[in-house]
A and B are shown apart, each in its own frame.
Chain A
Amino acid sequence: MESLRRILALIRKELLAILKDPRSRFTVLGPPVIQALVFGYAATYDLNKVRYAVYDQDRSEASRQFLADMDGSGTFRRVANLRDQREIGPLIDSRRVLIVVRMGQDFERCLLSGQPADVQVIADGRNSNTAGTALNYIGTIADNFNARWQQTHGGPSPPVQAVPRAWYNPNLETRWFMVPGMIGMLTLVQMVIITAMSVAREREQGTFDQLLVTPFRPIEIMIGKSVPSILIGLVQVTMVLTLALFWFKIPFQGSLFTLYFGALLFLIAAVGIGLMVSSVAATMQQALLGSFLTIMPFAMLSGLNTPISNMPREVQYVTLINPLRYVISIIHRVFLEAASFRGIASDLWPLVLIALFSQSVAIWVFRRRLI
């Protein structure tokens, strides 16, 4: 009972330390929202308004039709009609266009005489991912053009027709993937830094020693340091979640309870990692840089930027200790797939292990330092 009262007092003091300074209050509450908002718009692989140029040497009905398909797709925006081959180089070099489409003089003639008619597509490969996506879009446009051409020119109807469907995200919007994922990414950054810094600040200013001569036991100090960060984390989760639901209007399919349960486990693990960092850091600078060194690989290997299944096998094993990987999977599955507790069990227990491990290591290191 006495212990509980002490812990509550410590929690109150911690919350005051973080929230009383208006600038520090803003840095824990403002950025998650601003970032989720900005990155929600920017972090997308979906292309639209891609600038392209046309060098149409044929100027036939068929070539015009093909270009109309491109212009009408909404993905591409024609910004130049070229009259000379030599214009292509400078236009791409200077990044004025991403794509140049070129059709030779015999485009329509080839089509009519039953031969393959070449469409040359040149893409700026400086960002090969964007270029690859754009080429994929053009591939689809060409397929549709061909199907229509065959139909209207007495060709055999294609033996099979693909009927594509995307489950859980019917229009394949990257935002549905990114914004919920941000809940994990942004809170990880904040949790580790806030926790590590709050201990390091006391160390640097000497107040940690004062705390140690009080009747507090190490575990009470740890709880007193963890709970405020976790509370702030829950507020951040709620803010980003609200943004996802009501600003970006991403449909939430699962249960809020399941989502918060997973998020809570994750926050405990993240705070534990922050405590681990702070237990080895002597100064605030070391704590911050240490946090950074931990956050960075976690963020890179979380599966949000690049899929984990694309990584080499050894690196995939490394991701198994990454709490961010599990929480992002939990959020996606609950958010978009309406997964139940049983469905996300395989992501929950690793989080429990990571939380237990990191918190115990931190307590152990702190206790050793005391003796």
Chain B
Amino acid sequence: METRFAGEPGTDSSRINPRRVRSLIRKEFVQIIRDPSSIAIALVLPVFLILLIGYGLSLDVKEVPVAVVLENPTPESASLAGAFRLSDYFKVTEATSMQEAVKLIRDLKVDGIVRLSQDFDRQLASGGAPVQLIVRGVDANRGRFIQGYAQGALQQWTNQRAVSEAAPSVGSARLQTRMWFNEAVDSHYFLVPGLVVLIMTLTGALLTALVMAREWEQGTLEALFVTPVRAGEILIGKILPYFLLGMAGLFLTASAGRFLFHVPLRGSTFILAAVSALYLLVALGFGLLISSTTRNQFVAGQITIIATFLPAVFLSGFIFDLTGVPRAVQFVSYLLPARYYVSFLQTIFLAGNVWSVILPNSAVMLVMLLILFALTLRKTKKRLN
């Protein structure tokens, strides 16, 4: 329901007046500085997130507690247990019976069990001793990594044994893996670009949505409407301050990535800034649209978090790969600007100026920007009787 207003004063309404815009911007800045919570979101939160993500989160599995069950300790089985003990990936607790190990896994003391059975030696001699590897599968991703490492440890032991026994050699395929753009497999390399997305989304969408919704809710926007100020001017006055805050956040995060976590910026800084500005505008437009549609702080806040922030974490490709998800979910992710921005950021930071990635992603964001602003302008525009 659009509120209708009395006819506006007969000023020249076809052009944007820089003086009016300037005073609107000044008003917005004063409000930002007066309310500590906007500063908190714009500056404290980024710093906090940088530290949290930079030092707190890690997907690198290490020192997994496992129980090694030696039902019948012999030199051979002890040497295999030693392979697990020597591995950096495991912290071994020894158990003498399966019951003991099962209790450990149930009490969350260990995340896996390696079981060498009673007649390990005999089976080894007759070629092929089964080694039971049990992992706690609740966290599937972690479980899979643990399985991988355990098989690696077994393989290593097998190889060493083969060397010492000089068994007849049969060829085998040997993987030589290389991880491009992140040779050292440092998880900061993909967390930092993701962090930029989160921060830009927060300042862009959430802050703007709230500020604008408050004006609607308290009626101060309607008060603005009876002044000669035009809808376009109001939008510029709202956008510019938060745009600057967002860019400050980008600068902060990129610098922290570069100097604290040594994440390279392989592409050009200028392109990074330009495309980020584009995304920030899209996020701002989203925030404005949500607030002028809902005109209610509670609903606007909820919708912004649900429509921008959570998808930026889960549906953007920042952490979770999207190639395998069902078509419907793929489709939803294509509607989200964050997806394009994540792809761009990962490329510009780690791979460089790859135009075949930069151009299509920027183009989509540009189209989104135009649509969003057209919609917002229409929603905000005062109705002339």
Residue in B45, B55, B141 whose beta carbon sits within 8 Å of that of A174 in the complex: B141
Instruction: Check A112/B171 contact, CB under 8 A, given A43-B320, A50-B324, A168-B138.
Output: yes
Residue of B nearest to A92 (CB): B180
A260 at the interface (CB under 8 A from B): no
Among B128-165, those with CB < 8 Å from A are 128-145, 147-148, 150-152, 154-155, 157-158, 161-162
A41-72 near B? 1/0 per residue, CB < 8 Å: 11111111111000000000000001000000
Tell me, rounded to whole Å, the shortest Cβ–Cβ distance linking B83 to chain A.
10
Residue in B56, B147, B190 whose beta carbon sits within 8 Å of that of A128 in the complex: B190
> Roughly how many angstroms separate A124 CA and B181 CA in the complex, as a whole number?
7
Between A and B, 30 residue pairs with Cβ closer than 8 Å are A21-B296, A35-B306, A43-B314, A48-B324, A49-B323, A95-B343, A114-B170, A119-B173, A120-B178, A122-B178, A126-B351, A139-B152, A149-B171, A156-B167, A160-B80, A160-B154, A160-B158, A164-B133, A167-B134, A168-B137, A168-B138, A281-B37, A285-B214, A301-B56, A306-B59, A309-B64, A309-B111, A310-B61, A312-B58, A315-B56
Q: Is the CB of B297 within 8 A of A160?
A: no
B252 at the interface (CB under 8 A from A): no
B338 at the interface (CB under 8 A from A): no
A87 at the interface (CB under 8 A from B): no
| Residues of B in contact with A (beta carbons under 8 Å apart) | 35-38, 40-41, 44-45, 48-49, 52-53, 55-62, 64, 80, 105-106, 111, 124, 127-145, 147-148, 150-152, 154-155, 157-158, 161-162, 167-183, 185-187, 189-190, 202, 206, 210-211, 214, 294, 296-299, 301-303, 305-306, 310-311, 313-315, 317, 319-326, 328-329, 332-333, 343, 346-347, 350-351, 354, 356-357
> Roughly how many angstroms separate A159 CA and B297 CA in the complex, as a whole number?
67
> Roughly how many angstroms separate A23 CA and B302 CA in the complex, as a whole number?
11
Q: Is the CB of A126 within 8 A of B299?
A: no
Residue of A nearest to B320 (CB): A43
A150-174 near B? 1/0 per residue, CB < 8 Å: 1001111111111111111110111
> Roughly how many angstroms separate A143 CA and B103 CA in the complex, as a whole number?
32
Among A311-340, those with CB < 8 Å from B are 311-312, 315, 318, 332-333, 336-337
Q: Is the CB of B170 within 8 A of A46?
A: no
Q: Is the CB of B131 within 8 A of A163?
A: yes
A133 at the interface (CB under 8 A from B): yes
Q: Is the CB of B329 within 8 A of A159?
A: no
Q: Is the CB of A121 within 8 A of B176?
A: yes
Q: Is the CB of A27 within 8 A of B56?
A: no
Max chain B C-beta neighbours (<10 A), residue from A113, A124, A336: A124
Q: Is the CB of A131 within 8 A of B322?
A: no
Sample of 11 further A-B pairs with CB below 8 A, known A44-B324, A173-B140, A197-B301: A41-B325, A50-B323, A117-B174, A126-B346, A139-B151, A140-B148, A143-B151, A158-B128, A159-B124, A166-B140, A318-B56
Max chain B C-beta neighbours (<10 A), residue from A49, A289, A315: A289
Surface stretch bound by B, among A216-224, A227-235, A291-299, A352-360: A291-299
> Which residues from B are CB-within-8-Å of A122?
177-178, 180
Residue in B132, B177, B181 whose beta carbon sits within 8 Å of that of A163 in the complex: B132
> Which residues from A are CB-within-8-Å of B299?
21, 23-24, 27
> Roughly how many angstroms separate A201 CA and B319 CA in the complex, as a whole number?
35
Residue in A47, A94, A112, A136 whose beta carbon sits within 8 Å of that of B321 in the complex: A47
Instruction: Check A157/B179 contact, CB under 8 A, given A46-B140, A128-B187, A149-B171.
Output: no
Q: Is the CB of B139 within 8 A of A157?
A: no
Residue in B45, B80, B155, B326 whose beta carbon sits within 8 Å of that of A143 in the complex: B155
* Closest A-B pairs by Cβ, 3 of them: A155-B170, A166-B137, A169-B137
Tell me, rounded to whole Å, the shortest Cβ–Cβ distance linking A293 to chain B.
6
A258 at the interface (CB under 8 A from B): no
Q: Is the CB of A177 within 8 A of B138?
A: yes
Q: Is the CB of A162 within 8 A of B154?
A: yes
A305 at the interface (CB under 8 A from B): yes
> Roughly how many angstroms separate A143 CA and B137 CA in the complex, as a whole number?
22
Q: Is the CB of A311 within 8 A of B56?
A: yes
Q: Is the CB of B181 within 8 A of A27?
A: no
Max chain B C-beta neighbours (<10 A), residue from A50, A94, A166, A170: A166
Instruction: Check A128/B172 contact, CB under 8 A, given A164-B133, A311-B56.
Output: no
Q: Is the CB of A111 within 8 A of B143?
A: no
> Roughly how many angstroms separate A185 CA and B15 CA in the complex, as a whole number?
48
Tell me, rounded to whole Å, the shortest Cβ–Cβ distance linking B135 to chain A.
5
> Which residues from B are CB-within-8-Å of A115?
169, 171
Q: Is the CB of A131 within 8 A of B210?
A: no
